[in-house]
Amino acid sequence: MKKEEARKLAEEHFKTGYELQMHGKLQEAVENYRTSIQIYPTAEAHTFLGWAYSFQGRFEDAILECRKAIRIDPDFGNPYNDIGAYFIEQGKFKQAVRWLKKAVRAKRYDSYCYPHYNLGRVYEHEGDWKKALACFEASVKANPDYSLGVKAVNRLRALFN
């Protein structure tokens, strides 16, 4: 199979995996992401496979997939944020910070609101309200429609009044 054909076939499996995941069919999504990776590995496919694993509570596997994604494309921001978010879910807040900061600095990321928001979650958990508010505000600046960020900004501003 030629490289371009492989890339297109892998992309079809990736898209199918995403659709299945959005409909709660996690194991089928995992199978499609894996097939995509076998045909033509991409940072996106590894990251989304990790995301599917996280929905199954398989955080260590999810982190491993994100690390594979980073090896393929260190400029892709999603896996850094996802690793940070998985550490937060495990209660490992301090470990999350360095990954989230890498996500914020990533060259290629469509949704910078997420790592800013997640950093805010860490700082709020640690009781550093000013840092948390600054992160939540950065989240809203990156995406004014991000409702979780807007709610967090309003909640913390209320604490300061």
Distances 82 to 57, 62, 156 between C-alpha atoms, Å: 13, 8, 24
Q: Are residues 6 and 85 in the same domain?
A: yes
Chain-wide mean pLDDT for the chain? 96
Q: Are residues 33 and 81 in the same domain?
A: yes
Range of the domain at 50: 1-92
Q: Are residues 69 and 17 in the same domain?
A: yes
Q: What single DSSP character describes residue 104?
A: H
> Sorting pLDDT into bands at 50, 70 and 90, what band is 82?
very high
Per-residue pLDDT averaged across 112-141, rounded?
Answer: 97
Give pTM, 2 decimals: 0.93
| Assigned domain for 103 exists | no
pLDDT tens, residue by residue, 86-116: 999 999 999 999 999 999 999 999 899 999 9
| pLDDT at res. 110 | 86
Q: Are residues 87 and 119 in the same domain?
A: no
Closest CA to 94 of 104, 84, 106: 84
> Sorting pLDDT into bands at 50, 70 and 90, what band is 160?
confident
Q: Are residues 72 and 128 in the same domain?
A: no
